[in-house]
Chains A and B, each alone.
Chain A
Amino acid sequence: MKTCLVVDDSRVIRKVSRRILEDLGFEVAEASDGVEAMAWCSAVMPDAILLDWRMPAMDGMEFLRRLRAEPGGARPKVIFCTVENEIDQIREALDAGADEFIMKPFDGGIVAGKLAYLGVAA
C-alpha cells in the first residue's frame, strides 16, 4: 500500500485530506508542522506528501528544502496544498523542488487528479 503524509497545522484539513486519500487507497500519516514531518520522513519516507505552506515551528518551504537534502528525500512526490495562490508563489514552490501545487479550497477530484498526473496511484 502506498503511503501519503499529510502535513498541515489545521486538524480539520488533515481530517478532510485523510478521508480523500484513504478513499483513494492510501495509507495516511499526519504531521502538524515541518518538524513533525521531518521526524516521520527520517523514520520512513512516504510515497507522497501533501504539504501546507504556512505552519508554526517549520513551514512547508523550509521542510521541503530540508527533505530534498536528506538521503532518499528526492523520492517522495511533494504536493503543496495551501491557500497561497499567486503564480510567483507556485513558481517558487516548483523551483524549490515541489512536484505539484494545490490551491485551497480543494476537493477529492483535484487531489486524485494531481496524484494520477504524478504517477502515484495507490
Chain B
Amino acid sequence: MIAPSDLTFVAALCLARAGLKVNTDKAYLIDSRLAPVARREGYDSPEDFITALRNRGDARQAWAAVEAMVLPEPEFFRDRALFDALADRVMPDLAHARGGEPVRVWSAACGTGQEVYSLAMRLAEAPALAGQVDLFASDLSERSLEKAQAGLYSQFEVQRGLSARNLVRHFEKSGEAFVLSPRIRQMVRWRRVNLMDDLTRLGQFDLLLCRGLLGQLAPEAREKVLAQLQGALAPGGRLVLGLKDVAGDRFDRLAPELGLHGAPGEAVRSAA
C-alpha cells in the first residue's frame, strides 16, 4: 500500500493542478488508479511512480497522475434516489406510454457496468416491468466492457453502494472476487460505442443515462455529445445526466435533484 505521506503528496498535486479533492482515506482507490499509469510510464509500482514524481517533477507525468484521479469512482446505485424514481415512476410511466412496446433503456458511457446493473437489480424486483424493458449499455473502452460483461467485481467494488442484501441476493463468490448472477447479467446487451460517432444505427431510446461523462469533456465535445443524445432520445423520452452536468437549451430539466431531463417544451405540454 502507498505510504500516507505519498497519499498526501498525490492529493496536494491533484488539488493544485485541477482543484480536485482526493480523499486520502481511500488508499486502495489511489493505488488502483495510479497502478496502470505507473505501469504505462515504466515503473514497477505506484510507489516508485510517486517517488519519481516527487524527485523529478516531470510535468507530463504529473498530469497523467492527476487525470487518472479525475475519473469518477464507480459505485452501484450512485444517487440512490434516482434508481428509486426510475423504477417506481419513470420506467412504469414510459412503459404505459409505449402501450406494450418495449421501453428501450441505454446506459451510455457505462464504464464497468455498475449503473446498468443497478437498474437491472431494481427491475428484477418488478418482473412485470422488467418484461417490458430492454437494457442496453455501451462504453468507449473495450476493457471496461469486458469487465462489465463478466460481472466480476472486487471485494472493494461490491461494497460501494451495494447493500449486503443485494450482494447476497445477486452475487456468488468467485475466488477473491464476486460475480453477478447470470440472471441479472443476461438482462443487459452491450456494445462498444464512441459517442462522437454517428449514432443513428443504434435507433432511439426512451430512457438514456449519461451521468459520468460530460464533465470530463472539452466544451465542443460536450456540445456534440449532447446533440447526439438529443437525436437518440425517442419522443417523450427521458435523459438522465450527472447532477452537476448542464444540458443547455437542448433539454428541459424536469427534476434537477435527479438529473432528469426531457425534450424542450414537453413538460409544459404534458402538464397542460
Contact = CB atoms under 8 A, between A and B. Distances in A.
B10 to A, nearest CB: 15
B80 interface: yes
A114 to B, nearest CB: 8
A117 B23 contact: no
B161 A113 contact: yes
Contact of B168 (A94, A102, A113): A94
B27 A107 contact: yes
B168 A109 contact: no
Contact of A117 (B156, B163, B171, B172): B163
Interface stretch (A2-10, A26-34, A37-45, A83-91): A83-91
A106 B155 CA distance: 9
A48 B27 CA distance: 25
A20 interface: yes
A103 B23 contact: no
A90 B168 contact: yes
A47 B179 CA distance: 33
Interface string B146-172: 000000000110011101110110011
A113 B160 contact: yes
Interface string B62-76: 000000000001010
A107 B26 contact: yes
B250 interface: no
B173 A87 contact: yes
Q: Majority SS of interface residues in chain A?
A: helix
**Size band of the interface chain B makes with A:** 20 to 34
A113 B73 CA distance: 13
Q: Majority SS of interface residues in chain B?
A: mixed
Interface string B13-35: 00000000001011111000000
A120 B259 CA distance: 25
A20 B25 contact: yes
Contact of A94 (B23, B75, B156, B164): B164
B32 to A, nearest CB: 12
B167 A110 contact: no
Given A102-B159, A103-B159, A108 B26 contact: yes
Interface string A47-61: 000000000000000
A101 B164 contact: yes
Contact of B173 (A20, A85, A106, A113): A85
Nearest to A118: B163
Nearest to B176: A85
A117 B83 CA distance: 13
Interface of A: 20, 85-87, 90-91, 93-94, 98, 100-103, 105-110, 113-114, 117
17 contacts: A20-B25, A85-B173, A86-B173, A87-B173, A90-B164, A93-B164, A94-B168, A98-B164, A100-B163, A101-B167, A102-B159, A103-B155, A108-B26, A110-B160, A113-B159, A113-B161, A117-B163
